[in-house]
Amino acid sequence: MTRSYGCVFKANYKETGEIVAIKQVPVESDLQEIIKEISIMQQCNSPHVVRYYGSYFKNSDLWIVMEYCAAGSVSDIIRLRNKTLTEDEIATIVQSTLKGLEYLHFMRKIHRDIKAGNILLNAEGQAKLADFGDTMAKRNTVIGTPFWMAPEVIQEIGYNCVADIWSLGITAIEMAEGKPPYADIHPMRAIFMIPTNPPPTFRNPDLWSEPFQDFLTQCLVKNPENRATATQLLQNTFIKTAKPSSILRALITDAMEIKLKNVEAEQREQDQEDEDNSDEDEVDQGTMVRAGTSDMGTVREAGSLAGTVRTMIKQSDMGTMESQLGTMVINSDDDEDAGTMKRSCDGRTS
C-alpha cells in the first residue's frame, strides 16, 4: 500500500512470526537530526499511537519498522466502501485519536499532519495515530496537508499543540462528508481562504446531532488561545458517550473483504497478462532453466522478482530489535523548522 512520501510493505518478523509494517520514506534533511529524533521516539508508548519498533537508512531512504494495522487507514476504509462513516463510528474513532493526541501533547510533541489517512485501524477496531515519518522527512517545509492545516500554521505566526485539534475537527468533517472543506478548490487558494474565512461547518448541519456540532465548534476555533485541548475535548458529551471500538469491526470486515476481492481481481489480471506476454517457463529467482524453443540449447538464469520486497529483521527478540534499531519520532516542540515559528505546548514562542 502507498501513503504520502513513500510505500508501506507488510513483512514477517521471523523470530516471533509477528506481522509488522515497513515504511520507506525519502529523507531530505540532516541525518544527524533525524537520528536524534529516532532515539527520542523510544519513549512513546501508547495504545493509541502506532508503535515504532525501529528504523534504518539505506541510500537516501529511511526504512521504518512499525506496528501493523490490518485495516489500513480511515481514509482507505472510506474509499474501499465508497461511503462515509456514521456519527457513532466517527465518535469512536475521534475518541481514540484524542487519547493519542493527549499522550503526544503531554510528551510535548505535535503531530502536525492529522487527517483520516494518518489514523490507522487494527483488526479489532482500535484507532491509532500514525505517519510521524513524513513530519521528520520534510523538516524544511511547513508541515501538514493544506486542507487540514490550522490558520496559525498557514500564517506562520507560531503554533502549539492545539494546531492538531483544528486538524482533528477538519478530519471529523472528512469522515462525515468524504472530504475536507475546500477540497474541490486549488490548494493554494485554500491556503488563502482558511485563515480569512469563518471556521468551516457541515454542508448539511441538519444531518448531524447537536453534540457532534458542538464538538466541531470547539475544535474549529480560529484563535488558538481559545481552542480546546485534547484533555478538555475528552470530556465533551460527543466523546464521553462514544461507543466501544467493537462497533467498528463490521465496517472493517466489509472493507477488508472488498480489498481482498480487489487484490484477487488484480492478481487474475496480472496472471492473464503474464500468460499472454510470455511463452517462457516461469521460474524462481536464481534457478537455472532451459529457455524456450526460440533459443533451444542455451542455459540462462532467471531474472530477479521485480517489485518484490523481502525484509528480514534478525534479532533475538522484539525488545532487542527496538533497542538496536531505534524508533521514529515526530518533531518535539523545541525543534525549529526553517521559516516556521512554533509555540511550545505551554505557549512559549521559539
What is the residue extent of each domain of the chain?
2-68, 72-253
Model-wide pTM > 0.85: no
Query: What's the average model confidence in pLDDT over 316-325?
Result: 39
What share of the chain has pLDDT > 70, as a percent?
69
Question: What integer pLDDT is reported at residue 318 of this predicted model?
Answer: 42
Q: Are 129 and 164 in contact (CB under 8 A)?
A: no
Residue 90: Cβ within 10 Å count: 23
| Grid cell at residue 203 | 454542508
In order of 1, 126, 144, 242, the CA distances from 189 in angstroms are 30, 36, 16, 36
Question: What integer pLDDT is reported at residue 276 of this predicted model?
Answer: 81
pLDDT tens, 34-93? 666 666 666 789 999 998 888 888 888 888 888 999 999 999 999 999 999 999 999 999
pLDDT tens, 161-208? 999 999 999 999 999 999 999 999 999 999 999 999 999 999 999 999
The CATH number that domain 2-68 falls under is 3.30.200.20
- Higher-pLDDT residue of 40 and 324 is 40
The label of the residue with cell 510493505 reads 9
| Grid cell at residue 42 | 523510544
Fold equal for 2-68 and 72-253: no
Residue 322's pLDDT band, with cuts at 50, 70 and 90, is: very low
Phi, psi of 21 (to 5 degrees): -110, 140
The CATH number that domain 72-253 falls under is 1.10.510.10
Please determine, for residue 309, whether its predicted confidence score (pLDDT) is greater than 60.
Answer: no
What residues are labeled active site?
Answer: 113
- Higher-pLDDT residue of 248 and 36 is 248
Max CA separation in the chain (angstroms): 80
Question: What integer pLDDT is reported at residue 31 of this predicted model?
Answer: 67
- Higher-pLDDT residue of 194 and 333 is 194
pLDDT tens, 250-272? 999 999 999 999 999 999 988 88
Question: What integer pLDDT is reported at residue 15 of this predicted model?
Answer: 82
Most confident region among 127-131, 232-236, 296-300 by mean pLDDT: 232-236
How far apart are the C-alpha atoms of 3 and 323, rounded to whole Å? 27
